[in-house]
A and B are shown apart, each in its own frame.
Chain A
Amino acid sequence: MTRVFLGWGALMAAIMLVGLLFVGLDDADSLALFGGTVAVMAAIAVVLALAGWGRALHGGVRALPDLSPPTVLLGVAIVLAALGAELGLWLALIGGGLALLAIGGLVREGRAQRRALARARAGARAGREGNSGRLHPAEGYERPEFGSGGRREEAR
């Protein structure tokens, strides 16, 4: 996918250049918006390339959370905090407090998930079947094992 971001950014750069060189596109607003677009695409491509995230990830054990109440709380908190900008500091403070609570909850979820993953990986190493099924509801699933994609008997 890195190439898609890069290619699309290049396309935007080309359109800007045509405007700049041949059609007299020279106002600061337009150039900034085009330039920003190209920069965002380049940045994404660089991050993907450096981190090795540009290609799809197969196999392995991954956690799949079922529920995340703190996320919902965080959403509500952000909305309240934003409304606080209009309706008064008190609401912003309530929103901020709830957001802290929510972040605490998210940290706990993250820890639980890492523990569950470690357990599941250990299980997988011990040679259990690919999918040990449901872990704790708040912790997640192992990823079900997929067929290799090329074998005939998978074709049903």
Chain B
Amino acid sequence: MSAAPSVSLRRPTLVELLSATDHKRIGLATTVTALGFFFAGGVLALLMRTELAHSGMQFLDHDAYNQLFTMHGTTMILLFAPPVVMGVATYFVPLQLGAAEIVWPRLALLGYWLYLGGALTVWSGFLTEGGAARWAWFAFLPLSDSASSPGTGGDLWVLGVALSQLGVLLLGCSVMATIVRRRAPGMTLLRMPLFCWSMVATLLMVLVAWPVVLATMALLFIDRNVTDVFTVGGGSITYQNLFWFFAHPLVYVIFFPLVGAVGEVIATFSRRRFFGYRVTVLSLLLFAALSTSVWAHHMFTTQGVNNRFFSLTSTMIAIPAGIEYFAFLGTMWRGRIVLRTPMLFALGFVLLFLIGGLSGVFVASPPLDYHAHDSYVVVAHFHYTLFGGTVFGLFAAIFHWFPKVTGRRLSEALGIWQCALMFVGALLTFVPMFVLGFDGMPRQVADYPAFRDWDGLNLLSTIGAYMLLVAFLLFVVNVLRSRRIGEPAGPDPWGGQTLEWATASPPPRHNFDRLPPVRSYAPLLDLREERSRAERELGEAAGGADARRAPAAREEPAP
């Protein structure tokens, strides 16, 4: 059984780079592009934070600030987060399933290009005469209709959001089809790695919510350019229903894959099997169903929805979330914890998400929401979930899988610095926002009155934001360093448990030359356990007579 000689040593040509259908190429391109947009969205945030460091207007005007928060939110939540998880999934789901390829590689490739084209379309709004969209990332009507917000920038936003999310949907279809059709022999559903299951839960939501945003954007475009669609009757409520039906699951589409990835990191670095696998899988599916049933909790203050139902479902979300929390803790409990960078980021994820989640329980109850709505409390809450949750989880995944993708290790020291800076930076940026919000500071304002004494806390928050920038730059340095002098990683630098660690780093074109047997959701751990058992038995059988040849007996004193 010989494998195709697939890793060519020459550098790929441009056409090969742009049009490769290897899922690893597509996944990597998507991930890197998304990280680029993460950086761009971060720069916009820094501009805002710089303006907000002091009361009074410094270097932005109100209109520019409106564009900035709109484009920051849009970039982070639509052009960075969903694509980045799809990119990671496109790379790793086939590897974890023991598949040679992704199903519908051309569809995935098309998805990447639509995403890139759409994202650039959104950003090209900055180049138009009237500037980019300025209606917040949720584009509520009537603010986003053609009377209140005329201009090309807005139309480009609508088109770009539609194109980029169509791209995300196509990538998602390809990954889902791979999970359905390409599992290796022995890889039954309940032997799939946790990350793959988290992608199942994610993609169920994508399959129902993403078509809705496509339709919504099409209708919004028509409303702006052709004829009234949403302006009639309760149209703006319908817009909000449609939009949040997409946008609430969106938050979990970002979050679930990282729960899966972090779960695997925690299991790997606790040196034991993930605890409560089945319950966690079920709770993820329940979580996905509830997340698709809570959208109108963003609309409590509109009086147009059944608040009782939606606060009930929102509160129930605590159940599956709690189960996953206990599974994480249970895995670490009695594990032999090894504190390497992926694990550090994973712990940051667990801690920060706790803050975000708890504050979410508050915002999910209508009376409190009336108070917090449109204040900085909301901004602080969703940055804990989004920044604390996703970005820490993402870096846990990146530090875990980087050696597999590049064949080289990242520097642990730089990684630890990055993690520490990110953790302190995140607290410093977002804790003051909680305090400011409770004190009544409204969101989406470029300025605040000097007499409110909000200057100090705002300055702290801005300093925190710059720490986050430094942390990100450390990561870039780390990647560049690893490309030049990174230690070779070998196929399995961490003692991994799932199939991607059974092949070379980076994997060959067709991923595997041979597969180990799959008898559980941690096939490589099975192998190690089996081997050490066999070695022990061998040692006992040899009884020391042939101690030199039985490796397990090596440490026993020679008779």
Contacts and interface: CB of A to CB of B under 8 A. Distances in A.
A12 B241 CA distance: 17
20 contacts: A1-B180, A4-B189, A29-B238, A33-B295, A40-B208, A41-B204, A44-B207, A56-B184, A56-B187, A64-B510, A67-B19, A71-B113, A75-B109, A75-B113, A76-B117, A82-B163, A86-B152, A134-B5, A143-B101, A149-B518
Contacts of A5: 204
B16 A86 contact: no
B241 A29 contact: yes
A11 interface: yes
B19 A34 contact: no
A20 to B, nearest CB: 9
B100 A11 contact: no
Interface residues of A, number: 67
B134 to A, nearest CB: 17
Interface stretch (B301-309, B346-354, B465-473, B542-550): B301-309
Nearest to A28: B238
B185 A58 contact: yes
A72 B113 contact: yes
B376 interface: no
Given A106-B106, A145-B1, A83 B159 contact: yes
A24 interface: yes
B163 A71 contact: no
Interface of A: 1, 4-5, 7-8, 11-12, 15-16, 19, 23-27, 29-30, 33-34, 36-37, 40-41, 44, 48, 53-54, 56-58, 62, 64-69, 71-72, 74-76, 78-79, 82-83, 85-86, 106, 129-131, 133-134, 141, 143-151, 154-156
Nearest to B18: A72
Contacts of A56: 180-184, 187
Given A75-B110, A86-B156, A86-B225, 4 more contacts: A48-B180, A67-B16, A75-B117, A131-B3
A8 B312 contact: no
B306 A11 contact: no
A78 B114 contact: yes
Interface residues on chain B, size class: 35 or more
A144 B293 contact: no
Contacts of B106: 65, 68, 71, 106
- If over half of B's interface residues share one DSSP class (helix, strand or loop), that class is named, otherwise mixed; here it is helix
B17 to A, nearest CB: 10
A137 B289 CA distance: 43
A23 B308 contact: yes
A80 to B, nearest CB: 8
Given A146-B98, A151-B517, A15 B204 contact: no
B21 interface: yes
B517 A65 contact: no
A74 to B, nearest CB: 6
Contacts of A62: 101
Nearest to B118: A79
A72 B19 contact: yes
Contacts of A82: 121, 159, 162-163
Interface in B95-127: 98, 100-101, 105-106, 109-110, 112-114, 117-118, 121
Contacts of A65: 21, 105-106
Contacts of A4: 189, 200, 204, 285
A53 B179 CA distance: 11
B293 A12 contact: yes
Contacts of A58: 184-185
Given A148-B185, A155-B530, A141 B517 contact: no
Interface string B370-407: 00000000000000000000000000000000000000
B20 interface: yes
